Amino acid sequence: DAGVIQSPRHEVTEMGQEVTLRCKPISGHDYLFWYRQTMMRGLELLIYFNNNVPIDDSGMPEDRFSAKMPNASFSTLKIQPSEPRDSAVYFCASSPRAGGYLTEAFFGQGTRLTVV
Amino acid sequence: AQTVTQSQPEMSVQEAETVTLSCTYDTSESDYYLFWYKQPPSRQMILVIRQEAYKQQNATENRFSVNFQKAAKSFSLKISDSQLGDAAMYFCAFFQGGSEKLVFGKGTKLTVNP
């Protein structure tokens, strides 16, 4: 398996523009997580899905952020409109469930977003 | 709420020496998983080692080992024979049994001096 695949690796956009980040999880993994990493706040969990259904989006900072998982092999995180404070590295991770527990999260390479 | 605390923002070690990174966590549950992830400058998150809370034996992966103190809710990472390639950010993380959230500490930046 190629691992978790995120695109793009880097994104530079102007304030006010819509940004869409993409993720392909590892095949067979039930869970998909979106994290944001900044120097100030570290790794924050934004939202996660179980079997394509959003379970907890309490970490999504504002209504400008939305995430979808239309099928088991694809998820998007959208920011509309983007603001400079959204600049961060966004990670997608997927995880299998084994024996009733989530035992490990596999991360993609991340997308570095810069909003100017 | 689950929390993970890494009290050392930065650490340094001489090549070939041993270093220990600290982590404490807070939970009221008895079943959970603990992890150390490494993030080199490439920013890829790499799993270093995992510990199941129900196991008393400390996990070991080659030069990496943990000191898991369940009663004290402490989970430190020991790196032996440090190598230049060990230089990275190290994150302690926590999966609580029955929960589906992987919670991270703020990280420790490790520098390895030649």
Q: Tens-of-pLDDT digits for all 116 residues of chain A?
A: 689 999 999 999 999 999 999 999 999 998 999 999 998 888 999 999 999 999 989 999 889 999 999 999 999 999 999 999 999 999 999 998 765 566 788 999 999 999 99
Contact B5, B25 (CB under 8 A): yes
* Amino acid B54: pLDDT: 86
B102/A42 CB distance under 8 A: no
CB distance B33–A55 less than 8 Å?
no
Chain A touched by B33 (CB under 8 Å)? yes
For residue B82, what are its two tokens?
């440090």
User: Is there a contact between A95 and B102 if contact means CB atoms under 8 Å apart?
Assistant: yes
- Alpha-carbon distance A31 to A25, whole Å? 9
The pLDDT value recorded for residue B94 is 86
Q: In chain B, how long is the greatest CA-to-CA distance? A: 44
CA nearest to A57 within chain B: B101
Q: Are B34 and B21 in contact (CB under 8 A)?
A: no
B50, B91, B97 member nearest A104 (Cβ):
B50
Check CB contact of B107 with chain A, cutoff 8 Å.
yes
Instruction: Check B95 against A31: CB less than 8 A apart.
Output: no
Place of tokens 């589906």: B100
Per-residue pLDDT at B102: 85
Residue A101 is predicted with a pLDDT of 63
CB hemisphere CA count around A116 (13 angstroms): 4
Closest chain A CA to residue B104: A43
Question: Searching chain A, which residue's CA lies closest to the CA of residue B53?
Answer: A103
Judging contacts by C-beta atoms under 8 Å, the chain A residues touching residue B100 are 31, 48, 50, 55-56, 102
Which residue, among A113, A35, A19, A22, has the nearest Cα to A71 in the 3D structure? Answer: A22
Q: What's the pLDDT at B6? A: 95
pLDDT of residue B1: 59
Which of B10, B45, B95 has the most A C-beta neighbours within 10 Å, making it the best mutation to test the interface with A?
Answer: B45
Which residues of chain B neighbour A104 with C-beta distances below 8 Å?
33, 35, 47, 50
What tens digit of pLDDT does each residue of B80-89 get? 999 999 999 9
> Looking at residue B56, what is its pLDDT?
85
Q: Mind listing the pLDDT tens digit for each residue in B11-61?
A: 999 999 999 999 999 988 888 889 999 999 999 999 999 998 888 889 999
